[in-house]
Chain A
């Protein structure tokens, strides 16, 4: 019964695709654009301390809510902190959240997915649990979880992982279910290859393509979820400038200082957009099967 759900997810992952030469080129250009943006933003995050110009935490209550100027490129927030410095610095936090989520979800998702896909009993138990987890609307579950665990950067990452992992497990499990019937897996089994070896050598590597695609989706959505949590007041703590909480704190001042929420918002949207473009591109490059000709 879970197969059709996995199938549905795969269709989601396959959205926006077709075939043909021009399409491949288009895919590569958007992929290139996405990758370029991601690289730039990552670079910005890495060299943030060099290019930040001001202390992102430097309070200057006298200069509060000042519009963009030569001194403060993106203006200042309600505590007089430099929005440019915070935005640049925010890239570090937001990308850290995104990368951690993508990585952890992939590793945990593949591990559980492979085991579950190969073991009937584990499958039955795990699928019931995952169905339960997936029954909660994601944001609402995340909201309740962060409220429970308390808001810290690690908790936010953990919660987004908890919310995202079931989807990944499903995809991997779906892959494994079909992979294990493949002739070469049968062959490996026939020549007496031990099960862990089969899982490690034959099954796991073949799940990489959809996992990569899906993790790029999670990369983008993690940034969005973090920001939504910050907006609802339970995200990353305020003294850690993530894009989400810069916007979250700036929202109260939109009518007198739109720049506080505007600039980090632009960076956020651009990065999520880039992650999605990369995901689309990866899908086309890595997994021709998903390209559509089913």
Chain B
């Protein structure tokens, strides 16, 4: 593919940060969502952590951390004649109502799951996380590396009949860049984006950067979908009340709180490239795909067993055995895309203002207990001592974690608490009772805090209330949540590490974390980046912006006759290029 840009990514980039950004999976924590499919082909296994003090006996003795370095090729399924794959209906379960049809308005997965079938990006990642053209046909970079020129494919129409033009592409992309934190970063490099013709547009740079390409293919966070004027004319904060795109499926019917149904878009113009992850040729084999909202976990699993649901992207580990035995159902533990679990603490108000107290909490914490309480057997999680997600590029080292991460050193923690003079103080722990995966570790946190000399004011609420309370520092000291994808893979995109950006209100008193971020954004080689992140990790384990437990894997379950549907890098299961095997 003769794009002059493609090789330059590696050079200009130095910003290989970029490929990482892609190791992305966004996930609104409200919906306990699954991340990526079990690796079909090759998994690189390495033992990175020797288990520290094993207090709780483990049923599963062998514990390895599965690290997946790169995406692997999607195996070509046994060739069936195209016509035989056509037809039928597919049902995908959504665990919560679709909060909005506009993925520019939310990072929530309930909206982005159907969007994956309906809307498309300018560029799209292939299975190696290289941005490939999708709506764009070709691009080039000027001699001085300060102007990117793009040309769109011809003859593409939105589902509402509007032809795709450069103007639509530019406005959609800018709407995204304005909304997304990564987009904001990119815009600091960008001078001007303007349409130069019916199908051509330029991105003029202030400084050379390859981030532009990654921004067009961005996954995790907000999605840079290309949408018609009807949608982009409505501010992202308001959110359009339709979902229109250029994808292989179009929205047929939306019944809020019940289901969203999409059917084949006959005017779809597929890319001529080979299908690979999000890029290349897409075929809508199913006549219709229904995204069915089933909030009750018990019902979701029942419906999967009865065949009313075909794809269930999250199943608690406790059901692994049961579902493995169920005829017609395939279960997968998805190890190559995980979520970082932890206890988020209030850095600005109350006892955790004192770094020593944060350290004490972390040092006393038996992280396996928390992970096991939420996720069950250890095949469903890994205790990970690195600041970034284990298995991602910058998540393979334990520097700085010794003696603090999972140290279970209650005695020393008590001393620190005493030294800080806050012994016997009351700590408020929030527990969202509607979300066991965050309510369960709250019980552990309570025990830990009590063991190191605090009184605990345990506030059982629901997630909705908790989200409001955490706005007021005086109303809480500890809550539990998780982050995955780009958030967990790249410090630049991790709001909890940035000063005052997230609810933990990390203060970075020494300024070393902020300095690290700065250096990282401007680093030009992989070695440099690695060294910078290692330094930042030392700060992380000293400052304890939040108490990091480790990474959870997700379990997903599908009807066995659904072919070629998988999830990678935090994207939902693909419904295009997938079909139902006929018996």
Contact = CB atoms under 8 A, between A and B. Distances in A.
Interface of A: 57, 59, 61-62, 64-65, 78-79, 150-152, 233-234, 237-240, 249, 251-257
B318 A64 contact: yes
Contact of B372 (A61, A150, A238): A61
A233 B318 contact: no
B443 interface: yes
A78 B298 contact: no
A71 to B, nearest CB: 15
Contacts of B239: none
Interface stretch (B80-88, B255-263, B429-437): B429-437
B302 A234 contact: no
Interface string B144-179: 000000000000000000000000000000000000
A59 B319 contact: no
Contacts of A151: 433, 460-462
Given A151-B461, A234-B462, 13 more contacts: A59-B373, A59-B444, A61-B369, A62-B56, A62-B58, A151-B460, A152-B460, A253-B318, A255-B298, A255-B302, A255-B305, A255-B322, A256-B319
B367 to A, nearest CB: 12
Interface of B: 56-59, 296-298, 301-302, 305, 316, 318-319, 321-322, 369, 372-373, 376, 431, 433-434, 436, 439-440, 443-444, 447, 458, 460-462, 465
A65 B320 CA distance: 12
Contact of A252 (B57, B297, B322, B447): B297
Q: Which 7 A-B pairs have the closest CB atoms?
A: A237-B460, A61-B372, A252-B297, A238-B433, A61-B373, A256-B322, A233-B434
Given A64-B318, A78-B436, A255-B302, A239 B59 contact: no
Contacts of A57: 443
A262 B302 CA distance: 18
Among B322, B433, B436, B462, chain A packs the most CB atoms within 10 A around the CB of B433
A150 B461 contact: yes
Given A64-B376, A65-B318, A233-B434, A251 B460 contact: no
Given A62-B57, A252-B297, A255-B319, A233 B462 contact: yes
Nearest to B372: A61
A120 B581 CA distance: 76
A70 to B, nearest CB: 19
A79 B440 contact: yes
Contacts of B436: 78, 249, 252
30 contacts: A59-B369, A59-B373, A59-B444, A59-B447, A61-B372, A61-B373, A78-B316, A78-B436, A79-B440, A79-B443, A150-B465, A151-B433, A151-B460, A151-B462, A233-B462, A237-B460, A238-B431, A238-B433, A238-B460, A239-B431, A239-B460, A240-B460, A249-B436, A251-B296, A252-B297, A252-B298, A252-B316, A253-B298, A253-B318, A255-B301
B319 to A, nearest CB: 6
Contacts of B319: 255-256
Contacts of B439: 238
Given A233-B433, A255-B322, A239 B465 contact: no
A152 B457 CA distance: 13
Q: Main secondary structure on chain B at its contact with chain A?
A: helix
Contacts of A233: 433-434, 462
A79 B316 CA distance: 13
Nearest to A61: B372
A71 B447 CA distance: 24
A93 to B, nearest CB: 13
B318 A78 contact: yes
A147 to B, nearest CB: 8
A62 B372 contact: yes
A148 to B, nearest CB: 10
B433 A61 contact: no
Nearest to A63: B59
A249 B319 CA distance: 15
Among A65, A152, A234, A240, chain B packs the most CB atoms within 10 A around the CB of A65
Nearest to A249: B436
A255 B444 CA distance: 26
Contacts of A64: 318, 376
B298 A254 contact: yes
A145 to B, nearest CB: 14
Contacts of A252: 296-298, 316, 436
A79 B433 contact: no
Contacts of A240: 460
Nearest to B295: A233
Given A238-B431, A256-B319, A256-B322, A251 B373 contact: no
Among A78, A249, A255, chain B packs the most CB atoms within 10 A around the CB of A255
Contacts of B59: 62
Contacts of A249: 436
A66 to B, nearest CB: 11
A64 B60 CA distance: 14
Contacts of B431: 237-239
A255 B56 CA distance: 27
Nearest to B317: A64
A96 to B, nearest CB: 17
A237 B457 CA distance: 13
A233 B439 CA distance: 13
Contacts of A251: 296, 298
Contacts of A65: 318
Nearest to A237: B460
B555 to A, nearest CB: 13
A255 B461 CA distance: 27
Contacts of B376: 61, 64
A56 to B, nearest CB: 12
Nearest to A252: B297
Nearest to A233: B434
B61 to A, nearest CB: 12
Nearest to B373: A61
A68 B406 CA distance: 33
B67 to A, nearest CB: 24
A239 B58 contact: no
Contacts of A254: 298
A79 B444 CA distance: 11
Contacts of B369: 59, 61
Contacts of A79: 373, 440, 443
Contacts of A253: 298, 318
Contacts of B302: 255
A108 B319 CA distance: 48
